[in-house]
A and B are shown apart, each in its own frame.
Chain A
Amino acid sequence: MYERYEIPIQLASPPKEAPRRFQVIRGEDCIHCGTCVTACPYGVHLKQEADARLMALPEDDLCVGCQRCVMECPVGVLDIGVHPDFRAIGKGTFRPRVVTRIWDEAASGRIPVSGAGYRGPFVQPGFDAIWTDMSEIVRPTRDGIHGREYISTAVDLGRKPPYLTWEDDEPFPPILEIPVPFLLNPPGAIGRGLEPLVARAAAELGTYAILEASDVRGENGHVIPRFAAEEEVDWDLLDGARAVEVDDAGDGLATYHAIKEARPDLVAFLRMPLRFDAREAYADRIRAGVDVLHLYADPHGREIGPEETRFIAPVLRDLDQYLVEEGLRDEVTILASGGVVASEHVPKALLCGADAVGLDTTYLVALGWNGNPEGGLPSPIRTQWGVQRITNWANACRDQLLEIMGAMGIRDARRMAGEIGRAMFHEDLEREFMALFPGGNGHG
């Protein structure tokens, strides 16, 4: 029977010590008149409980930064500034607004909505340098969001034969359908010990968690064990599994084929570092029958390699183009990971050529990490809270994916992969723009 895919969301408040956005400063010359108490409807300014003649310290975690108390203070002793803790949140990929947005999504499970227009820089490196398309006139995909017509966010992982055969000795290759176009990667060093929690979150979402084979405990239909290249395959771990991942390094490809041979029912992922220079190696592996290529970039989305590296988005785009030219793209599933962090990164990575993405740092942020390499996770993390934070984030992410797809008039996430024509790269737009001016390149 048809079942509508829904992610159960529930409020999961952030840990108490979460940094605040604003600090409210009350100068020494305060006359305790209480004007700010009536000016602020958010309850930042209150009188002291013990002595109502005096003002209490401002509750700056409630402040929204509207400045009305500052403007109304008769003696001008109030100031609102950005809280130093907010500024201390990570940089680059994990800049404060990215991190705090993930926290909000993980708390409520809903799409962050606000008034006023866009407030940030014109463009930033990475996924921020891409705009997605929209259609002025489309069939009513948008209504799918309100329930009248369905937009599917499901994607398939596995090998896709270019045509069907009716020979008995060629069974249809296994396919893994996931309801959202993302999987959860292993938590890495910062999240050591969170593996069972991540596996549960994946099960809750109906997607899969890739975990190092040595971390896989007990039965869980939503775990994909990963074997390092030299690791001996523990066949017991594959009981009940539907997919497996093997690292390509060293002799990995032999292991990969050995597993495929023994367990043709498994969808097998081959994990390789993302590097455009390696495209011929990718093509060879696809020709050799690899189901899923898991291409990983570094946590900031840079290619892996000693020389100059590019960002994952243009690399995926160029790789997609290359595989199309080689006539190979449609046969293989590309799973991309590294640098895919915020909700808007997911549709953008798909448009650049990924069929699905692997997430890791995102859920660490959802669990409270502030994106700083020195920062850690709050401890202890209760499993139920942690799972709820991850599923909340996933729901907000999926809802935003629906918004982006609705605006484009795309009803099926499977159709997103490699739709380069529906993405605008800053690089391309700026090149065209620059050419307008007689000075040409006006850098500097």
Chain B
Amino acid sequence: MVEAEPLRVVSAPSYIWRTVNKYAVEILPDACIDCGICAQVCPYDVYEMKPGLVHISAPKSSNCIGPHNCEGQSFFCVDNCPTDAIRVGENAYYEDLGDDRWPADLITSTWYMSETGQLPPPGIESRIGDSGGGFDRLHFVFPEDPEPVEEVDTSLDLNRRPWGPRIRTPIPIYGAAMSYGSVSLNVMLSRIRAAKAWGTFCSTGEGGYPEALIPYADHVITQVATGLFGVSEASIQRAPIVEIKYAQGAKPGLGGHLLADKNTPDVARIREAVEKTSLFSPFPFHSVYSVEDHKKHVDWLRSVNPDALISVKVSTPVDVDMVAVGSYYAGTNILNLDGGYGGTGAAPDIAKKNIAMPIEFAIPKVHRFLEGEGIRDEIVLMASGGLRTAYDVAKAIALGADGCVIGTAELVALNCTRCGNCERGRGCQHGIATTDPELVPLIPADFGAQRIYNMYHAWRLQWVDLLTRLGLESFRDLRGRYDLLRYEGAIL
């Protein structure tokens, strides 16, 4: 396998499909005289007159900022059209896309960022959702007169123990665990290539370590979870970070479940399991019934690979703070708190909302408890489970996390519409959460990598802007800064 070229921002439109747009721009073909005035006036590149062509191209509705933002402006296409051939309106079904956590604006703004690497046009919300609580009711308070900042540092240190390798990533995130089987190999490659380009990491999830990822081994986190699917000495020794998964936020205390349809021969081979059977990852670890056993677990992995950082992924129960302390004393480097509103390939609906607390409440609880114990600066606290945007990441850090783990947003970057049919064999009609040979090629790995890379590029623009406005030089200075946040209270 050839190593991917280091990526830079290149436009990556979803070349097969149109997207779902907030505004609908229409050129009436009978009235249009192809004069090209609209292409000259529109500053948002909705219209294009390709060089050498005499007809105007189909309008790019995804760039439109909407008639109410444009009316009265000198560049309003409708007013400028000499033959009244342009219709600009709202897409009546736009709001039906997405849901409270990922409303249509968040989905389409993520698509836009993934396509262009830039921030979406004004009028499309890219920071918060509509869930009426948590991050969506938490806002930054910007000082009127911030300290001038020369250069903003968005990096994250992944080892704060006095021993072990030093690892620093330039952005405060790494890619969440998604197993081979729950998503396609192309999606895994897309994510890992983007992670490599950004100098960060991406986790294999618990479905084993496909050989195609070996060229990217320096950026692959491998997971040891309760099912022990595909866990081998070789894969642990290859990984710079080994993640032990005790629980997953989207289904805390329930283990994992890969439905039979997605367990193709290749998935079964990597997982060392029988093909076309449903694969259960049990709950809990049957080798860990106490915190002493947990230490044994960490020691075991460390003896297999002394150079790896050990990450522990836990859910957010009542006593999550005690869990964190126990994990610290067992010798972990990274504690990944996975809150209840995170993504999953398949989970009982009842588990997604009702078990374990949202990540917003868990982060400060753990952060402050570790501070009180005097051990906060030796462990890295990573937050995940329902972090959708660059602003969510920054808020999580302000609440007390060191960095964040991102999953669903990377899939939305790949064109996910959040329809929620990932658990079915041929469920994902966008070729993401599937192993079906006909659907997998819909996301070529280089296209996918570019989309995810672009999204993080846009996120970084938002982070730099945010830290500058806060007068902070790095995310390290933002951690635990409750004074920079304002909470409106959940809407009940």
Residues of A within 8 A of B (CB): 25, 39-41, 64-68, 70-73, 76, 79-82, 101, 111-125, 128-140, 142-143, 146, 343-344, 348, 400, 403-404, 406-408, 421-422, 424, 426, 429-430, 432-434, 436-439, 441-444
Query: Contact: A68 with B429, CB < 8 Å?
Result: yes
- From B37-45, B302-310, B346-354, the one touching the partner chain is B346-354
Query: Contact: B489 with A134, CB < 8 Å?
Result: no
Give Cα A118–Cα B351 distance, bound, in whole angstroms.
9
Query: Contact: B353 with A66, CB < 8 Å?
Result: no
Query: Contact: A80 with B341, CB < 8 Å?
Result: no
With a cutoff of 8 Å between Cβ atoms, the chain A residues found around residue B318 in the complex are 133, 421-422, 424
Give Cα A140–Cα B16 distance, bound, in whole angstroms.
48
Query: Contact: A137 with B280, CB < 8 Å?
Result: no
Query: Contact: B247 with A136, CB < 8 Å?
Result: yes
Mask: chain B, 123-139; 1 = CB below 8 Å from A; 0 = not? 00000000111101100
With a cutoff of 8 Å between Cβ atoms, the chain A residues found around residue B133 in the complex are 121-123
With a cutoff of 8 Å between Cβ atoms, the chain B residues found around residue A123 in the complex are 132-133, 490, 492
Query: Contact: A67 with B100, CB < 8 Å?
Result: no
Contact of A403 among B246, B343, B350 (CB under 8 A): B350
- A25, A39, A124: most-surrounded residue (chain B CB, <10 A): A124
Q: Nearest residue in A to B247 (C-beta to C-beta)?
A: A136
Q: Nearest residue in B to A70 (C-beta to C-beta)?
A: B20
Query: Contact: B430 with A68, CB < 8 Å?
Result: yes
Give Cα A357–Cα B292 distance, bound, in whole angstroms.
39
Give Cα A131–Cα B320 distance, bound, in whole angstroms.
14
- From B203-211, B249-257, B443-451, B455-463, the one touching the partner chain is B249-257
With a cutoff of 8 Å between Cβ atoms, the chain A residues found around residue B91 in the complex are 79
Give Cα A82–Cα B98 distance, bound, in whole angstroms.
11
Mask: chain B, 410-428; 1 = CB below 8 Å from A; 0 = not? 0000001111111110111
Give Cα A404–Cα B251 distance, bound, in whole angstroms.
10
Tell me the smallest distance from the CB of A257 to a CB of chain B, in Å: 41
Query: Contact: A142 with B283, CB < 8 Å?
Result: yes
With a cutoff of 8 Å between Cβ atoms, the chain A residues found around residue B134 in the complex are 122
Contact of B349 among A25, A112, A408 (CB under 8 A): A112
Give Cα A243–Cα B350 distance, bound, in whole angstroms.
33
With a cutoff of 8 Å between Cβ atoms, the chain A residues found around residue B4 in the complex are none
Does B357 lie at the interface of the complex (its beta carbon under 8 Å from any beta carbon of A)? yes
Tell me the smallest distance from the CB of B52 to a CB of chain A, in Å: 23
With a cutoff of 8 Å between Cβ atoms, the chain A residues found around residue B252 in the complex are 134, 407
With a cutoff of 8 Å between Cβ atoms, the chain A residues found around residue B486 in the complex are 437, 439, 442
Query: Contact: B348 with A136, CB < 8 Å?
Result: no
- A81, A133, A138, A139: most-surrounded residue (chain B CB, <10 A): A133
Tell me the smallest distance from the CB of B390 to a CB of chain A, in Å: 18
Contact of B353 among A64, A112, A118 (CB under 8 A): A118
Tell me the smallest distance from the CB of A368 to a CB of chain B, in Å: 21
Query: Contact: B487 with A119, CB < 8 Å?
Result: no
With a cutoff of 8 Å between Cβ atoms, the chain B residues found around residue A434 in the complex are 487, 489
Contact of A115 among B355, B423, B482 (CB under 8 A): B423
With a cutoff of 8 Å between Cβ atoms, the chain B residues found around residue A133 in the complex are 317-318, 355-356
Known: A113-B348, A116-B420, A122-B490. A142 touches B284 (CB 8 A): yes
Query: Contact: A436 with B364, CB < 8 Å?
Result: yes
With a cutoff of 8 Å between Cβ atoms, the chain A residues found around residue B16 in the complex are 71-72
In the A-B complex, list the 4 residue pairs whose CB atoms are closest, starting with the nearest: A407-B253, A122-B133, A115-B422, A71-B17
Known: A68-B430, A137-B291, A406-B253. A443 touches B18 (CB 8 A): no
Does B392 lie at the interface of the complex (its beta carbon under 8 Å from any beta carbon of A)? no
Query: Contact: B246 with A136, CB < 8 Å?
Result: yes
Contact of B254 among A125, A406, A426 (CB under 8 A): A406
Query: Contact: B419 with A65, CB < 8 Å?
Result: yes
With a cutoff of 8 Å between Cβ atoms, the chain A residues found around residue B421 in the complex are 64, 66, 114-115
Does B240 lie at the interface of the complex (its beta carbon under 8 Å from any beta carbon of A)? no
- A73, A112, A121, A124: most-surrounded residue (chain B CB, <10 A): A121
Tell me the smallest distance from the CB of A127 to a CB of chain B, in Å: 9
Q: Nearest residue in B to A40 (C-beta to C-beta)?
A: B429
Does B223 lie at the interface of the complex (its beta carbon under 8 Å from any beta carbon of A)? no
- B341, B345, B350, B428: most-surrounded residue (chain A CB, <10 A): B350
Does B361 lie at the interface of the complex (its beta carbon under 8 Å from any beta carbon of A)? yes
Interchain Cβ contacts under 8 Å between A and B, 28 examples: A41-B426, A64-B421, A65-B417, A66-B419, A66-B430, A72-B17, A82-B96, A112-B348, A113-B346, A115-B422, A117-B408, A120-B100, A122-B136, A133-B355, A135-B284, A136-B284, A137-B246, A139-B289, A142-B254, A142-B282, A403-B350, A406-B254, A407-B252, A407-B351, A433-B364, A438-B482, A442-B486, A443-B489
Give Cα A297–Cα B270 distance, bound, in whole angstroms.
54
Does B150 lie at the interface of the complex (its beta carbon under 8 Å from any beta carbon of A)? no
Query: Contact: B344 with A117, CB < 8 Å?
Result: yes
Query: Contact: A437 with B283, CB < 8 Å?
Result: no
Query: Contact: A113 with B349, CB < 8 Å?
Result: yes
Does B161 lie at the interface of the complex (its beta carbon under 8 Å from any beta carbon of A)? no
- A132, A143, A404: most-surrounded residue (chain B CB, <10 A): A132
Mask: chain B, 477-492; 1 = CB below 8 Å from A; 0 = not? 0000011011111111
Give Cα A81–Cα B283 distance, bound, in whole angstroms.
38
Known: A79-B92, A112-B349. A117 touches B341 (CB 8 A): yes
- A67, A111, A116, A119: most-surrounded residue (chain B CB, <10 A): A116
Give Cα A438–Cα B91 distance, bound, in whole angstroms.
42
Query: Contact: A114 with B490, CB < 8 Å?
Result: no
Known: A114-B421, A115-B423, A437-B487. A348 touches B314 (CB 8 A): no
Known: A134-B355, A407-B254. A114 touches B341 (CB 8 A): no
Contact of A135 among B96, B253, B340 (CB under 8 A): B253
With a cutoff of 8 Å between Cβ atoms, the chain B residues found around residue A424 in the complex are 318, 357
Give Cα A166–Cα B17 distance, bound, in whole angstroms.
80
Give Cα A316–Cα B377 distance, bound, in whole angstroms.
42
Does B471 lie at the interface of the complex (its beta carbon under 8 Å from any beta carbon of A)? no
Does B323 lie at the interface of the complex (its beta carbon under 8 Å from any beta carbon of A)? yes
Mask: chain B, 9-31; 1 = CB below 8 Å from A; 0 = not? 00000101111100000000000
Query: Contact: B417 with A67, CB < 8 Å?
Result: yes
Does B433 lie at the interface of the complex (its beta carbon under 8 Å from any beta carbon of A)? yes
Give Cα A40–Cα B419 distance, bound, in whole angstroms.
14
Query: Contact: B253 with A408, CB < 8 Å?
Result: yes
Query: Contact: A140 with B354, CB < 8 Å?
Result: no
Query: Contact: B250 with A118, CB < 8 Å?
Result: yes
Tell me the smallest distance from the CB of B472 to a CB of chain A, in Å: 17
With a cutoff of 8 Å between Cβ atoms, the chain A residues found around residue B131 in the complex are 120-122
Known: A117-B101, A137-B289. A404 touches B427 (CB 8 A): no
Give Cα A73–Cα B416 distance, bound, in whole angstroms.
17
Query: Contact: A117 with B250, CB < 8 Å?
Result: yes
Does B102 lie at the interface of the complex (its beta carbon under 8 Å from any beta carbon of A)? yes
Mask: chain B, 315-330; 1 = CB below 8 Å from A; 0 = not? 1011000010000000
Does B175 lie at the interface of the complex (its beta carbon under 8 Å from any beta carbon of A)? no
With a cutoff of 8 Å between Cβ atoms, the chain B residues found around residue A433 in the complex are 360-361, 364, 487
With a cutoff of 8 Å between Cβ atoms, the chain B residues found around residue A437 in the complex are 482-483, 485-487
Give Cα A65–Cα B246 distance, bound, in whole angstroms.
33
Query: Contact: B93 with A76, CB < 8 Å?
Result: no
Tell me the smallest distance from the CB of A413 to a CB of chain B, in Å: 16
